[in-house]
Amino acid sequence: MDSLPTRTNGTNASRGAQASPPPKGIYVPVPTFFAKEGTSAYDAVTPPLDLETQTEHSLFLVKGGIKGLVILGSTGEAIFLRSEERKELIASQRKALDDAGYKDRPIIAGTATQQIDDTLQLVKESKEAGAEYAMVLGPGYFAPSTSQLGIQKWFEAVADRSVLPVMIYHYPGVTNNLYIAPSTFEKLAAHPNIVGTKLSHGIIDDQTLIAANPRIDHEHFYVFTGLGQNLLPVLTIGGVAAIDGLAGVFPRIVVRLFRIYNDSAAKGTTKKDIDEMRLLQYRICEGEKLVAAWGVVGIKEALARVWDMGSKTGGRLPLAGGFQDGEKEWSKWAEVYQGLKKLEEQFKAEGKES
């Protein structure tokens, strides 16, 4: 179940073929890097892509044990990119991974449109650029008036016609609080071209009702948490892993928790394993507070300050500018992030995650 789909053969659910989910592991919703202030290419309104830093970050992640990349999700500022930029970004990172010997690391491309044909066009372009999966955000514009049947039919229409296997992206925070019920997930999980979900909310009982549902084929439909602070509890209820923002800064730390859980489950979990997992989850939760408070702005700030990667002010409007009071705000997080950096470097020296 953990093999990548063949890149040259698109999935066509209408033929009855059942698509495979992405390989189990920790994924990162990568930020999109833009040209820094002060460079010749910089434009304050629409700074161009910085593909050099994008590639630096991608390789930093996969060398740290990250299983694959989610490009053009919410953290990737997808709604601010033109179609040509989307294709250029995906293609550049597919080539960078392949050239560096990471052909086995899939790219999951995000879509965030309301209209079915527009969504399908983005999926088609993503596949042509080298993506292996599509992570499709729910249509939230009319969320208060949208029924569960309407949500089900919308995703089924996309999946029926999609040339890539589809993952459902459930993020109420950016979809006008659109709610997708566990019962709706149960129906959608039966679709041959819907292979999983990213649940970016903290409703642990709903996560349980999806990840532990005995009526869902969990070899075909994978549940990922979008919150690293929920990783350990989600693993215990049947989720496979996380698509996590903090892992974009400290990949080895999040990967280590995932691996300890799976290794200990295979050999027999000891008290030492439990203590180590609890401590790692605690450290992850400390770091995730910045991600929860600031989203992509905080992730870019952390990458620039901790690893000198990208720019603290590297977003597009209205996210350009970073923290409004940079030094004062960072001082709230600096101690935690320096501690996480030391732990990340310790794990790198041990060499277990790459």
User: What is the number of other CB atoms lying within 10 angstroms of the CB of residue 99?
Assistant: 11
CA–CA separation, 234 and 67 (whole Å) = 18
pLDDT tens digits for range 116-171: 999 999 999 999 999 999 999 999 999 999 999 999 999 999 999 999 999 999 99
Per-position pLDDT tens, the chain of length 354:
455 554 433 444 444 689 999 999 999 999 999 998 777 777 878 889 999 999 999 999 999 999 999 999 999 999 999 999 999 999 999 999 999 999 999 999 999 999 999 999 999 999 999 999 999 999 999 999 999 999 999 999 999 999 999 999 999 999 999 999 999 999 999 999 999 999 999 999 999 999 999 999 999 999 999 999 999 999 999 999 999 999 999 999 999 999 999 999 999 999 999 999 999 999 999 999 999 999 999 999 999 999 999 988 778 889 887 888 889 999 999 999 999 999 999 999 998 776
**Catalytic entry in 198, 267, 289, 300:** 198
- Is residue 4, in this structure, part of any structural domain at all? no
Looking up residue 342, the CATH number of its domain turns out to be: 3.20.20.70
Total structural domains within the chain: 1
Question: Residue 178 corresponds to which tokens in the numbers above?
Answer: 């659109």
For residue 334, what pLDDT is reported? 97
Residue 8 in domain: no
State residue 9's pLDDT score: 38
Examine residue 3 and state whether it is found in any structural domain, yes or no.
no
Q: Does residue 167 sit in helix, strand or coil?
A: strand
Q: Is residue 203, in this structure, part of any structural domain at all?
A: yes
Is 2 domain-assigned? no
Q: Dump pLDDT digits (tens) for 8-22.
A: 334 444 446 899 999
**Among this protein's residues, is 312 annotated catalytic?**
no
Q: Is 264 a domain residue? A: yes
In this predicted structure, what is the pLDDT of residue 37? 79
pLDDT value of position 10: 44
| Within-domain flag for 316 | yes
> pLDDT at position 11, please?
47
* Domain extent for 145: 13-350
**Is 260 within a domain?**
yes
Count Cα neighbours of 337 within 13 Å in the Cβ-side half-sphere. Answer: 23
In 3-state terms, what secondary structure has residue 242? strand
> Which helix or strand (DSSP H or E) is residue 199 part of?
strand 194-199
**CA separation (Å) from 22 to 66, 186, 194, 220, 221?**
13, 19, 11, 10, 10
| CB neighbour class for 144 (10 Å; exposed up to 12, middle 13-18, buried from 19) | exposed
Residue the block writes with tokens 């040209």? 35
